[in-house]
Amino acid sequence: MTQQEFMLDLPPSPVPKHEALDPGAAVLRGHAGMQAADMLAGIRRIARLSPFRRMTTAGGGTMSVAMTCCGAAGWCSDARGHRYEPHDPLTGQPWPALPPAWRAWATDAARLAGHDGFVPDTCLINGYRPGARMGLHQDDDERTDAPVVSVSFGLPAMFQWGGLQRTDPVRRIPLLHGDVVVWGGPSRLVFHGITALRAGQHPVTGPCRYNLTFRRVWQGSSV
């Protein structure tokens, strides 16, 4: 009997591979664990070309999360507001390329969560140190209705996930090393945030957390 035939005799796993959070939203616990070494090496390579930086906001503040990007567009915030830019304002160069293997991986993750045909053109990379946080916000700078695939590495974070109104009640779910969350359909514009990162040491990332979000910013991107 082959391994696969043997598996067919087992009762269905009591732990589903993906948990639905809300219509269009699902978490794939630990799904990126095998990708951690490759993606963290990729983050280091990207950050040598377009370094992590803490952006300023139109309100005059400085974000506590450090960011960089790769792909056709990068998310930027400054005194004028926030938007996607095809060039890194820090270097004047195009953003580093989105690794083709990452794009294929994100397409597959979206499909596992029920969103077929997702082809991201950018990946926003957030770097958290203890104390860094992201206040409740909506991601509405993208010009498409494609889903977002988010991947967490390193120290655990507490994700806050509300509704379509800022004042809707907020639920909290922990995001751990390797966790993947896919947000699409009616969940694409929910308010969400990350509470202040607690200090700690992670065996793979040390005192840091990284979050990658794969997005489709422009409908007509040539990817």
Annotated binding site for Fe cation: 137, 139, 192
Closer to ligand MD3 by Cβ: residue 103 or 192: 192
- From 30-38, 82-90, 92-100, 188-196, give the range in contact with ligand MD3 by CB under 6 A: 188-196
According to CB under 6 A, which one of 46, 150, 182, 205 is a site residue for ligand MD3? 150
Which stretch of DSSP H or E encloses residue 5?
helix 3-8
* Residues present in the chain in total: 223
For position 194 contacting ligand MD3 by CB under 6 A, the verdict is yes
Orientation of helix 100-112 relative to helix 36-49, angle to 10°: 130
Interacting stretch for ligand MD3, rule CB under 6 A, among 26-34, 44-52, 91-99, 184-192? 184-192
Q: Computed from CA positions of residues 133, 124, 62, 138, in that sequence, does the dihedral angle turn out positive or negative? A: negative
Instruction: Please identify which residue in 213, 214, 216, 217 interacts with ligand MD3, judged by CB under 6 A.
Output: 213
Tell me how far, at minimum, the Cβ of 148 lies from ligand MD3, in Å: 4
Return the structure tokens found at 20. 């639905």
Nearest residue to ligand MD3 by CB is 211
Runs of H (alpha helix) within 31-169: 36-49, 100-112
* Site for Fe ion, residues 130 to 159, rule: CB under 5 A: 139
Q: Which residue's Cβ has the minimum distance to Fe ion?
A: 139
Quick one: what does residue 102 bind among ligand MD3, Fe ion, none, with the CB cut-off 5 to 8 Å set by partner type? none
Q: Are 202 and 40 in contact (CB under 8 A)?
A: no
Shortest Å distance, C-beta 175 to ligand MD3: 6
With CA atoms as reference, report the closest residue to 130 among 155, 113, 161: 155
Least Å distance, CB 3 to ligand MD3, is 35
Binder to ligand MD3 among 27, 43, 110, 148 (CB under 6 A)? 148
| 71 contacts: CB under 8 Å, gap ≥ 6 | 95, 97, 98, 120, 121, 122, 123, 223
List phi, psi (to 5°) of 39: -70, -35
Any idea which residue has 């939203």 for tokens?
Answer: 25
Footprint on this chain of ligand MD3 (rule: CB under 6 A):
124, 126, 134, 139, 148, 150, 157, 159, 181, 183, 188, 190, 192, 194, 211, 213
Footprint on this chain of Fe ion (rule: CB under 5 A):
139
